[in-house]
Structure 1
Amino acid sequence: MFLNVHSCYSLRYGTMSIEKLVTEAAFMGIREMALTDINNSTGILEFFRECKAKGIKAIGGIEFRREGRLLYTGIAQNKEGMKELNDFLTGCNLEKRTLPDRPIDFKHAYVLYTYGKEIFELRENEFLGIRAEQLHLLYNKDLGDLKKKLVVWHPVTVNSRTSYRLHQYLRAIDGNTVLSKIGTEESCSPREEFLPPGELKRLYAGYPFIVENTEKLLSSCCLDYSNKTRRNKRSYTGSRQEDQVLLEKLAWAGLEDRYEPGNKEAAERLKKELKVIAELDFMAYFLITWDIIQYSKSKGYYHVGRGSGANSIVAFCLRITDVDPLELKLYFERFLNKHRSSPPDFDIDYSWDEREDVQRYIFEQYGKAYTALLGTMSTFKDKSVFREIGKAMGLPKEEIDSFTDPTQQGKHLDNPVFKRIMNAYDLMKDMPNQRSIHAGGVLISEEPITYYTALDLPPKDLPTVQWDMYEAEAIGFDKFDILSQRGIGHIKEAVELIEQNTGDQVDIHEVRKFMDDPLINARLRLGESIGCFYIESPAMRQLLSKLECEDYLTLVAASSIIRPGVAQSGMMKTYIYNYHHRDQIKYLHPIMKQELEDTFGVMVYQEDVIKVCYSYGGLDLADADILRRGMSGKYRSKAEFDRLVESFFINARNKGYDEAITAEIWRQVASFAGYSFSKAHSASFAVESYQSLFLKTHYPMEFMVAVLNNYGGFYQRWVYVHELKKTGARVHLPCVNHSDTKVNISGQDVYMGFIGINGLESRFIQLIPQERERNGRYTDLEDFILRTGITLQQCILLIRTGALRDFGKSKKILLWEVYNYLGTKTPEPPAQALFKVKSKSYVLPELESSVLEDAYHELELLGYPLSMEMFDLLKTSYRGDVMAAELKKHTGKTVKMLGQYVCEKTVRTKNNKKMWFGTFLDVKGDFFDTTHFPAQAPVYPFKGKGCYLILGKVTEDFGCPSVEVLRFEKLPIADNPVLGDF
């Protein structure tokens, strides 16, 4: 009898989760109902599963609205009907069409209009829903053929008065207005809640034919998604047998390429993995990933395969990854095993500017009807809930801010307004707010994907499913993660620049050779890694220095222990100490030494958890991985998890192990597993780090140019310009006769690109170098203006940047002359003139300029001065008593230093007080780090970019010096000679 039920996936409208909605219906004794969320089918399969568990017949549908106005509701008769509804909505979404007043003629779905609106002649599958309060309109009315078209219309949106109030808040948030302005058309009726079936029938007792029509409609619907199977494309070649033959052929060929002849361990591992892959029917998944890699390699794209997929020797042999699982003792079971409840996936990284082409290939190769990007569901979170509710209540910003300030919340506990917000907060937090797009997930389905979802069209202009990765997993989809990152862009462009600038051809995949390079490892040991993927942050550079890291395996460990959970738990400090004091390590048990000797007695990776559970706890590798996932919150089932924990202790007891030692080992395992990191992830990161280090070590200029052109990394742009200068490059300001859109390099000359000039319009960023390429250098200001059609303000901006210095005139003369051409008129579009008319020339007085004035222009337009250093802008000539390179000599002493601000990081102490870590450059260009404890930080705060005078005590941690700040002040810079103080 319930043909129009809304869940919370009716975004900012529905109030109940699928689970709550079905539980409520079951409590009311409802045996069948239709989920019809507004303009989406996000919750249909979750609804089906929940209903099946509660013995309720689930029916699927979609409520179609245009600009908030209800048009009609589609009810699927079966799976094909659900596909029809999804296809209809998808077509409108992808083609950016508005929903029509009347849908197409569905073959397997009903259409319901609401009684009382002007309706055309109804088709066989179309009905009119009438509310109980509208039944009086039928009194003494000759219904004729309409009699068989009327059905019960009792929408469900809320389940209580509190729920209705939540609905009103959601509607106000959706309309960006206040509660008092929400009209009846924008919101549901307070009566839109479940009624016991008998109560609903009683309301229609005077019109039994309406109830009969409704029951007949419901009984004709049967939505069945019960066959639990993987939904991915089942075969790459067209048959499972051919898939197996092809995969084995490629894998064995890859084994010969990757390993020395006769490597029995590799052959046995490969044979074992191929057997599991075939048993679990993952051949197509591997082959499709291989196909994607083959396409990208044919286009010259560089990729990094990472994630748990790097645990697979098959992936290594297919060159999906470059991590050797034998060298790193990686378990295949971490990636794929018969007990794994969630599907594994490969993470494939591409350069940020190449990923979209790879995605386009996937859609074309595997069919747009079968391929879609994975969605995500953003929810109402924390402070945003307070702010949204506060705005809906019409509260002033200051009051809302006080409610969200933890230090003030105590005084609001008796405030009735605050209590109302808290009540709404408890209901709204974690509710779906809007659909978005997953970072890189792609789904390739065996059936058209609209059997399972309608598709959205986010800004990327690629079809996207209406549910997230968790629902994909529940349905049976394995995703392909096609990701992008700046680090790969750095590497790719650096290799291209090296060939253009030096003629050298670099094989960036010779990673084994890089790992044995003493120059690279010396740089790694010193933490000289600015610009290098994953290892350039202050914390990571400090860690490399503390470890004196100079090899791949140590870098793999560093890539894992740098993560917040490990660092905050104290395990990082323990690892560093044990690393330097190996003879002092005490192992709880010989098996712990056997399994953790490589990581000096510390569990560093998720794989360490698996090893300990396997070797000490006696679990097989598949069960050990389930236990590891359970401890990280990813339960397959609570009962099974508890059984495996019990098995761990029973097996240890049966082996005669001391129970106290077993309890302590379990405590360590349980405390670590929740924040552990995959060794395969770390290994993949370390491979890419070595590639970046190779480029930075042997081709530093080209590498830093590539970093700048791919929008840097951890630091602000000026830091990378500083590093570029340190390589010996002659770095020039943008120039209309030498610069391109991006930074370019020729020999040792580097010209900054137009794209870095603040305020310069994109059309001129592109046009200036293109016009110069077509018709030659610009000869003077007039020639430049005529050929580019530039506007006055844009030309002034270029003059002040120094980009027109090739014309042999000072900035001030050019600024004077530009008004001669553009001061009173808008230039006409560039055109080929028949005759060039010489402009009038004027004799100007001598106009003074200064380097300081230029520096201020650069600060404004580039964000940093290039003509001089920030230190040279200071009013003082003092440069500090101690330089960064000398800090170790002053350990324990108080020093006075001068540093240029690079970055800062805020952390919370155990007492929930704020402290800061800072990074600075001294006048010689060397980095040093500072610590700002809670007692000093509020008195001497950071004040943004600039140079600071620092008084502090030098401390040393594992050979890495730092300055504990006692006093701290930003220094003033010289006045702008034109504008005064900057």
Structure 2
Amino acid sequence: KYFLTCYDIVKFARKQNILCQGRGAAANSAVCYCLGITAVNPTKIDLLLSRFISKERNEPPDIDIDFEHKRREEVIQYIYKKYSREKAALTAEIITYRLKSAKRDLAKALGSLSLSLNREKYNDLFQYLLKEMQGFPRHFSQHVGGFIISQTPLYNIVPIQNASMPSRTIIEWDKDDIEELGILKIDILALGILTCLKKALKYINKKRIKEKLSPIELYSVPQDDKKVFNSIAKGDTIGVFQLESRAQIAMLPRVKPKCFYDLVIEIALVRPGPLQGNMVHPYLRRRNNLETPSYPDKIVKKILGKTLGIPIFQEQAMKLAIYLADFTPGEAEMLRRAMSAWKKNKTAIEKLQEEILNRMIKKGYSKDFAKSCVNQLKGFSEYGFPESHAASFALLAYASAYLRYYYPAEYAAAILNSQPMGFYPPAQIINDAQTHGVKVLPIDINKSKWFTFALKNSKAIQLGLHLVKYLSIKQYLILKKIKEKTGDFTSIEKIWEEAA
């Protein structure tokens, strides 16, 4: 039922021509792939099913689905309409105190006490309460997309309330509470690049059909185009999903991705965790043949070989525990969860690491070898990234790089029309398009439409009036009506006169 519920939501989105893609742990599932929920074939890159579901967990799997960020609300309202607001709701997110917010609220609360206490006592009290408050719940907010669906009215199970947005209901429990109770949850998320890719494909296929060429689909683009990979390897990736940050642009010429899996690694590698965990430079040295990968065991080589002996993905940690310490898939998943929550609960991860050490020694491995493996797992707890997540994002990264390389005008128009998204403002996107040979025609009140569009039979775009600050679409429609009646505007004065 859970899979079919997700499939129904995806089917609705596709029927409405809304681009969507499952990601995260769901990419480990062949069932999700066959149902079209995810686009990653888990058999091709050896993903781990127990990252998605296992017998020991005794709970529904977690499926995250991204939708076009401009149209996600349509999907949300479909769920409410199908299951009713009595049986479907968004989960809450508990916002806890951090240092800055704790200081601010505490200063407000203790403001008058500063007058009655001496400075030393006040400071001692302030510091004590500040320490106690951190991590304490402050208020709750709406989760970005966690949806729960029930067979019975939710008010019989959980406290509910209306959201601040109209036509939305939220429950007053967060995702951790939901997991503990085993209530079905689906993450309905928004992703800007899907909006961009959808628009780009629309513009491109319109052009291709006129040229009597077959339309292209998102997942039908060739996955091994050398020209596209050469472009990526140069760091020429402004506007490319997941590869456009300054850190990625600096890293790409050093990694020099040559195939799809290289992109999977690249996306996982340029994260705060791997950088802080000192894993990036060893990988780069091995990648560029400046250092030879070493593996203490054949099993370790099989698990870490594709990342040159450097542990990067959470799934690798799980496999090490399964094959070296005879963890069950469910126990390995508990290890992953403990690693993800190590900052909140260091005791849990330490117990599991001790268990791995003891089991490996019992299995016949030397104590030194067992310790070296446990030390690698300690590193994972700080920076491990889900391989399935990186694989899902790599598909979109490559697709965006492909469309940008072969259809720069249409892709530039799509990005501009999908704002806000990405790292760069429209001016930088326009500048990048120009460096790739796209002629950019300035905003023209007589020639521009609301959205930017690519010109026919030309590698050029006409900037849209949506880029004019403070101009609303309502005002644009008024101007459009006037122009249709009276013809082109010939002066600023005429615009003022007619629009007044």
Q: Normalization by structure 2: what TM-score?
A: 0.90
Q: CA deviation at 1:367?
A: 1.9
Alignment partner, residue 71 of structure 2: 354
Alignment partner, residue 17 of structure 2: 300
Kindly tell me: are residues 337 and 527 of structure 1, through their superposed partners in 2, closer, same or farther at Cα, counting changes over 3 Å? same
Retained in 2: the 8 A contact 1:370–1:447? yes
Alignment partner, residue 326 of structure 1: 43
Alignment partner, residue 672 of structure 1: 380
Range moving further from structure 2, 728-737 or 689-698: 728-737
Retained in 2: the 8 A contact 1:619–1:647? no
Question: Quick one: distance in 2 between partners of 1:630 and 1:424?
Answer: 29
Q: CA deviation at 1:631?
A: 2.9
Alignment partner, residue 441 of structure 1: 146
Kindly tell me: are residues 738 and 423 of structure 1, through their superposed partners in 2, closer, same or farther at Cα, counting changes over 3 Å? same
Question: Quick one: distance in 2 between partners of 1:304 and 1:773?
Answer: 41
Q: What letter corresponds to residue 480 of structure 1 in structure 2?
A: I
Kindly tell me: are residues 782 and 547 of structure 1, through their superposed partners in 2, closer, same or farther at Cα, counting changes over 3 Å? closer
Kindly tell me: are residues 385 and 496 of structure 1, through their superposed partners in 2, closer, same or farther at Cα, counting changes over 3 Å? same
Q: CA deviation at 1:562?
A: 1.0
SS at match of 1:750: strand
Question: Quick one: distance in 1 between partners of 2:346 and 2:43?
Answer: 33
Retained in 2: the 8 A contact 1:549–1:555? yes
Equivalent position to 1:769, from 450, 474, 480: 480
Retained in 1: the 8 A contact 2:277–2:382? no
- Is 1:564 aligned with 2:272? yes
Alignment partner, residue 429 of structure 1: 134
Question: Quick one: distance in 2 between partners of 1:770 and 1:415?
Answer: 70
Kindly tell me: are residues 744 and 642 of structure 1, through their superposed partners in 2, closer, same or farther at Cα, counting changes over 3 Å? closer
For 1:771-790, list aligned pairs within 5 A.
771-772=482-483, 776-781=487-492, 783-789=494-500
Kindly tell me: are residues 634 and 368 of structure 1, through their superposed partners in 2, closer, same or farther at Cα, counting changes over 3 Å? farther
Question: What is the percentage of aligned positions where both structures have the same residue?
Answer: 27
Q: What letter corresponds to residue 675 of structure 1 in structure 2?
A: Y
Question: Quick one: distance in 2 between partners of 1:638 and 1:526?
Answer: 41
Alignment partner, residue 685 of structure 1: 393
Retained in 1: the 8 A contact 2:342–2:349? no
SS at match of 2:152: coil
Question: Quick one: distance in 1 between partners of 2:253 and 2:343?
Answer: 38
Kindly tell me: are residues 641 and 583 of structure 1, through their superposed partners in 2, closer, same or farther at Cα, counting changes over 3 Å? closer
Kindly tell me: are residues 645 and 435 of structure 1, through their superposed partners in 2, closer, same or farther at Cα, counting changes over 3 Å? closer
- Is 1:760 aligned with 2:471? yes
Alignment partner, residue 719 of structure 1: 428
Number of aligned residues: 489
Q: What letter corresponds to residue 575 of structure 1 in structure 2?
A: Y
Question: Quick one: distance in 1 between partners of 2:462 and 2:63?
Answer: 39
Q: What letter corresponds to residue 443 of structure 1 in structure 2?
A: I
Retained in 2: the 8 A contact 1:494–1:705? yes
Equivalent position to 1:420, from 116, 125, 131: 125
Kindly tell me: are residues 377 and 770 of structure 1, through their superposed partners in 2, closer, same or farther at Cα, counting changes over 3 Å? farther
Q: CA deviation at 1:560?
A: 0.8
- Is 1:523 aligned with 2:235? no
SS at match of 2:190: strand
For 1:945-960, list aligned pairs within 5 A.
none
Retained in 1: the 8 A contact 2:96–2:137? yes
Range moving further from structure 2, 414-423 or 723-732: 414-423
- Is 1:339 aligned with 2:56? yes
Question: Quick one: distance in 2 between partners of 1:642 and 1:602?
Answer: 22
SS at match of 1:603: coil
Equivalent position to 1:470, from 171, 176, 200: 176
Q: CA deviation at 1:416?
A: 3.7
Kindly tell me: are residues 773 and 520 of structure 1, through their superposed partners in 2, closer, same or farther at Cα, counting changes over 3 Å? farther
Question: Quick one: distance in 1 between partners of 2:471 and 2:108?
Answer: 37
SS at match of 1:587: coil
Equivalent position to 1:699, from 407, 411, 427: 407
SS at match of 2:383: coil
Alignment partner, residue 488 of structure 1: 194
Kindly tell me: are residues 367 and 773 of structure 1, through their superposed partners in 2, closer, same or farther at Cα, counting changes over 3 Å? farther
Q: CA deviation at 1:653?
A: 2.3
Q: What letter corresponds to residue 473 of structure 1 in structure 2?
A: E
Larger relative helix fraction: 2
Question: Quick one: distance in 1 between partners of 2:59 and 2:344?
Answer: 8
Alignment partner, residue 868 of structure 1: none
Q: CA deviation at 1:766?
A: 4.2
Q: Normalization by structure 1: what TM-score?
A: 0.47
Q: CA deviation at 1:414?
A: 6.1
Kindly tell me: are residues 740 and 391 of structure 1, through their superposed partners in 2, closer, same or farther at Cα, counting changes over 3 Å? farther
Question: Quick one: distance in 2 between partners of 1:376 and 1:766?
Answer: 40
Question: Quick one: distance in 1 between partners of 2:399 and 2:46?
Answer: 22
Question: Quick one: distance in 2 between partners of 1:561 and 1:517?
Answer: 22
SS at match of 1:584: coil
Equivalent position to 2:86, from 352, 364, 369: 369
Cα offsets for 1:344-378 (capped at 9, x unmatched): 31111111111110111111112221011111122
Cα offsets for 1:626-647 (capped at 9, x unmatched): 2222233279999987775455
Alignment partner, residue 737 of structure 1: 446
For 1:961-972, list aligned pairs within 5 A.
none
- Is 1:450 aligned with 2:155? yes
Question: Quick one: distance in 2 between partners of 1:573 and 1:388?
Answer: 42
Kindly tell me: are residues 696 and 598 of structure 1, through their superposed partners in 2, closer, same or farther at Cα, counting changes over 3 Å? same
SS at match of 1:350: strand
Question: Quick one: distance in 2 between partners of 1:436 and 1:505?
Answer: 46
Q: What letter corresponds to residue 677 of structure 1 in structure 2?
A: F
Retained in 2: the 8 A contact 1:529–1:536? yes
Q: CA deviation at 1:462?
A: 1.0
Q: What letter corresponds to residue 788 of structure 1 in structure 2?
A: A
- Is 1:656 aligned with 2:370? no
Q: CA deviation at 1:581?
A: 2.1
Alignment partner, residue 592 of structure 1: 300
Q: CA deviation at 1:494?
A: 0.7
Q: CA deviation at 1:785?
A: 3.3
Larger relative strand fraction: 1
Cα offsets for 1:30-57 (capped at 9, x unmatched): xxxxxxxxxxxxxxxxxxxxxxxxxxxx
For 1:8-19, list aligned pairs within 5 A.
none
Q: Any gaps of 5 or more consecutive residues in structure 1?
A: 1-283, 400-412, 790-982
Retained in 1: the 8 A contact 2:240–2:401? yes
Equivalent position to 2:7, from 263, 271, 290: 290
- Is 1:509 aligned with 2:226? no
Alignment partner, residue 66 of structure 1: none
Kindly tell me: are residues 607 and 773 of structure 1, through their superposed partners in 2, closer, same or farther at Cα, counting changes over 3 Å? farther
Q: What letter corresponds to residue 735 of structure 1 in structure 2?
A: D
Retained in 1: the 8 A contact 2:338–2:348? no
Q: What letter corresponds to residue 438 of structure 1 in structure 2?
A: H
Cα offsets for 1:274-319 (capped at 9, x unmatched): xxxxxxxxxx110000111111111111112100010001111111
Q: CA deviation at 1:710?
A: 1.2
Kindly tell me: are residues 574 and 478 of structure 1, through their superposed partners in 2, closer, same or farther at Cα, counting changes over 3 Å? farther
Question: Quick one: distance in 2 between partners of 1:367 and 1:376?
Answer: 22
Question: Quick one: distance in 2 between partners of 1:776 and 1:293?
Answer: 45
Kindly tell me: are residues 594 and 749 of structure 1, through their superposed partners in 2, closer, same or farther at Cα, counting changes over 3 Å? closer
Question: Quick one: distance in 1 between partners of 2:297 and 2:335?
Answer: 21
Retained in 1: the 8 A contact 2:205–2:216? no
Question: Quick one: distance in 1 between partners of 2:187 and 2:310?
Answer: 31
Equivalent position to 2:205, from 486, 493, 499: 499
Q: CA deviation at 1:547?
A: 1.0
Which is higher, the Rg of structure 1 or of structure 2?
1
Cα offsets for 1:917-976 (capped at 9, x unmatched): xxxxxxxxxxxxxxxxxxxxxxxxxxxxxxxxxxxxxxxxxxxxxxxxxxxxxxxxxxxx
Kindly tell me: are residues 372 and 577 of structure 1, through their superposed partners in 2, closer, same or farther at Cα, counting changes over 3 Å? same
SS at match of 1:614: helix
Retained in 1: the 8 A contact 2:87–2:149? yes
Kindly tell me: are residues 698 and 661 of structure 1, through their superposed partners in 2, closer, same or farther at Cα, counting changes over 3 Å? same
SS at match of 1:455: strand
More contact order relative to length (CA 8 Å, sep ≥ 6)? 2
Cα offsets for 1:677-697 (capped at 9, x unmatched): 110000001000011011101
